[in-house]
Chain A
Amino acid sequence: MSTVSLTLRQVRFENLSFWRNPASAFFTFAFPLMFLVIFTTLFGDDTNFYVPAIAAFSVITAGFTNLAMSVSFARDQGVLKRKRGTPLPPIAYLGGRVVHATLMAILLVVIVTLFGAAFYSVDISFETLPALLVTLLVGAATFSSLGLAMTAAVPNADAAPPVVNFTILPLLFISDIFIPSDNAPDWLPRVADLFPVRHLSVAMQAAFNPDAFGTPNGFKWTEIGIVALWGVVGIVLAVRFFSWEPRR
Chain B
Amino acid sequence: MCAHAISVKDLRRSYGSLEAVRGVDLQVEEGEVFALLGPNGAGKTTTVEILEGHRTRTSGDVSVLGHDPERGERALKERIGIVLQETGVEPFLTVAEVIEMYRGYYPHPRPVDEIIEVVGLTEKRDVRANKLSGGQQRRLDVAVGLAGDPDLLFLDEPTTGFDPSARRGAWQMIQNLQALGKTIFLTTHYMDEAQHLANRVAIIVGGKIVAEGPPASLVAAGITTTTIHFHVTADGARPPGDGWEEKDGAYEKATDDPVRELHDLTGWALRHNVELRELTVTQPSLEDVYLQLTGAAAPAESAEPPARGRSRRRRR
Proximity string of chain B (74-90) to chain A, C-beta cutoff 8 Å, 1 when within and 0 when not: 10011010101011111
- Is A190 on the interface with B (CB-CB < 8 A)? no
Please measure, in the bound complex, the distance between the C-alpha atom of A77 and the C-alpha atom of B86, giving whole angstroms: 7
- Chain A: minimal CB distance from B52 (Å): 6
- Is A79 on the interface with B (CB-CB < 8 A)? yes
Residue of B nearest to A77 (CB): B88
Within 8 A of B (CB), among A188-237: none
Within 8 A of A (CB), among B15-65: 52-54
B78 contacts A21, C-beta separation under 8 Å: no
Within 8 A of A (CB), among B90-135: 90-93, 97, 101-102, 104-106, 128
Inter-chain contacts of A81 with B (CB < 8 A):
54, 84, 87
B307 contacts A247, C-beta separation under 8 Å: yes
B128 contacts A20, C-beta separation under 8 Å: yes
B87 contacts A78, C-beta separation under 8 Å: yes
- Identify which of A82-90, A142-150, A166-174 touches chain B: A82-90
Within 8 A of B (CB), among A44-100: 74, 76-79, 81-82, 84-89
Inter-chain contacts of A181 with B (CB < 8 A):
none
Inter-chain contacts of A20 with B (CB < 8 A):
92-93, 128
- Is B316 on the interface with A (CB-CB < 8 A)? yes
Please measure, in the bound complex, the distance between the C-alpha atom of A13 and the C-alpha atom of B105, giving whole angstroms: 13
Proximity string of chain A (151-188) to chain B, C-beta cutoff 8 Å, 1 when within and 0 when not: 00000000000000000000000000000000000000
Please measure, in the bound complex, the distance between the C-alpha atom of A93 and the C-alpha atom of B101, giving whole angstroms: 12
Please measure, in the bound complex, the distance between the C-alpha atom of A29 and the C-alpha atom of B269, giving whole angstroms: 84
B312 contacts A78, C-beta separation under 8 Å: no
Residue of B nearest to A18 (CB): B92
Inter-chain contacts of A118 with B (CB < 8 A):
none
Inter-chain contacts of B74 with A (CB < 8 A):
87, 89
> Number of contacts between A and B (CB, 8 Å)?
78
Please measure, in the bound complex, the distance between the C-alpha atom of A78 and the C-alpha atom of B89, giving whole angstroms: 8
Which secondary structure dominates chain B's binding surface? Answer: loop
Which listed residue, A6, A247, A248, touches B105 by the CB 8 Å rule?
A6
Contact status of A246 and B86, CB under 8 A, knowing A77-B315, A85-B52: yes
Inter-chain contacts of B148 with A (CB < 8 A):
86-87
A78 contacts B84, C-beta separation under 8 Å: yes
A77 contacts B53, C-beta separation under 8 Å: no
Please measure, in the bound complex, the distance between the C-alpha atom of A6 and the C-alpha atom of B106, giving whole angstroms: 11
Contact status of A87 and B77, CB under 8 A, knowing A13-B101, A17-B93: yes
The number of chain B residues with a CB under 8 A from chain A is 33
Contact status of A76 and B93, CB under 8 A, knowing A86-B105, A87-B148, A89-B74: no
Inter-chain contacts of A42 with B (CB < 8 A):
none
Please measure, in the bound complex, the distance between the C-alpha atom of A17 and the C-alpha atom of B128, giving whole angstroms: 10
Residue of A nearest to B73 (CB): A87
Please measure, in the bound complex, the distance between the C-alpha atom of A1 and the C-alpha atom of B52, giving whole angstroms: 23
Please measure, in the bound complex, the distance between the C-alpha atom of A21 and the C-alpha atom of B92, giving whole angstroms: 7
Contact status of A13 and B87, CB under 8 A, knowing A84-B54, A85-B77, A86-B148: no
B93 contacts A79, C-beta separation under 8 Å: no
Please measure, in the bound complex, the distance between the C-alpha atom of A99 and the C-alpha atom of B144, giving whole angstroms: 24
Inter-chain contacts of B82 with A (CB < 8 A):
82, 85
Within 8 A of B (CB), among A85-121: 85-89
- Is B71 on the interface with A (CB-CB < 8 A)? no
Inter-chain contacts of A84 with B (CB < 8 A):
54
Contact status of A13 and B84, CB under 8 A, knowing A6-B104, A87-B148, A246-B308: no
Inter-chain contacts of B247 with A (CB < 8 A):
none
B106 contacts A82, C-beta separation under 8 Å: no
Inter-chain contacts of B91 with A (CB < 8 A):
17, 77
Please measure, in the bound complex, the distance between the C-alpha atom of A56 and the C-alpha atom of B205, giving whole angstroms: 57
Chain A residues with a Cβ under 8 A of chain B: 1, 6, 9, 13, 16-17, 20-21, 74, 76-79, 81-82, 84-89, 245-248
A-B contact pairs, 16 of them (CB 8 A): A6-B104, A13-B90, A13-B93, A17-B93, A20-B92, A77-B88, A77-B314, A77-B315, A79-B90, A82-B89, A85-B77, A85-B84, A86-B77, A87-B148, A88-B105, A246-B314
Q: Top 10 A-B pairs ranked by shortest CB distance?
A: A77-B88, A20-B92, A78-B87, A85-B82, A82-B87, A87-B77, A88-B105, A86-B105, A17-B92, A87-B74
Q: A77-B314, A78-B87 are in contact. List 12 more A-B contacts (CB 8 A).
A: A76-B314, A77-B88, A78-B88, A78-B315, A82-B84, A82-B89, A82-B144, A87-B74, A87-B78, A245-B54, A246-B86, A248-B307
